[in-house]
Amino acid sequence: MTQAYSNAETQSPESSGQKTNGKLLSSSNNPYRSLLLLRYFLLNVVAFALLGVAWSQGYVHKVVHADQTYLSVVIFLVFIVGLVLCTQKLWQTNREIDALKSISGLQSPAVSHLVNISGKHSNASISGSTRLRLSHRISVVRHLGNTLVLLGLIGTVLGFIIALSGVDPDKASDVNAIAPMVSTLIQGMSTALYTTLIGSIFNVWLMANFQMLSSGTVQLISDLQEAVDRHA
């Protein structure tokens, strides 16, 4: 392994450049990378287009107006944070995949580090550690997706509390008191249903993006392992 490392360092610039150019050409035609970015782009374009249609039809204003707790706005903001983080991490993952395929293996800091420690630890230990680190890096997106569902459930509970708070059994026989109770009941049920719906929709949207990020991370782990096996 030490001899392979020294041979890689003593390569001439011409031969290194030729290998680099060759791998650059192969990485530019990487179908997996192009397909992943295309799927990510198409998913979010279609989703935002549907959101724009809902906005133009007045559904978004109806949801915000019906939600007395404004928890639907909080859910949307949490979703935007999760989507931005997911986009950032997906772009970072694709850059790392591209770097592994476009430069000489030992010139990659990640591969160089893994090769250096491969003599001190078993391959299974190194592979498990790498997988754990990369999985931990993207876990925040999954946690934000789960938070959207929890916020929707909290909205459901708050909606039922609002709905039941206006019900007074002692005034059930009073005709003049029925209308305010029914109005409060409807407002509470609207809050409960809309927050649950919004939380579920944005959870599905964000988790669909997370699945693409997760598949990209799996590809990165596989490429790292192949690079280490090739140079170790």
Residue 41 region by backbone torsions, left for phi larger than 0, else alpha for psi between -120 and 50, else beta: alpha
Domain of residue 50 covers 2-231
Domain count for the chain, please give it. 1
Share in percent of the chain as helix, strand, coil (round to 5)? 90, 0, 10
Record the tokens describing residue 137, joined without a space: 């890096």
Residue 78: count of CB within 10 angstroms of its CB: 19
Choose among 201, 202, 194: nearest CA to 61: 194
Residue-level pLDDT, tens digit, the chain, 232 residues: 333 334 433 444 444 444 444 443 344 445 555 678 888 999 999 999 999 999 999 999 999 888 888 999 999 999 999 999 999 999 888 888 777 766 544 445 555 555 554 544 455 555 666 677 778 889 999 999 999 999 999 999 999 998 888 777 767 667 677 777 888 888 889 999 999 999 999 999 999 999 999 988 888 888 777 766 666 5
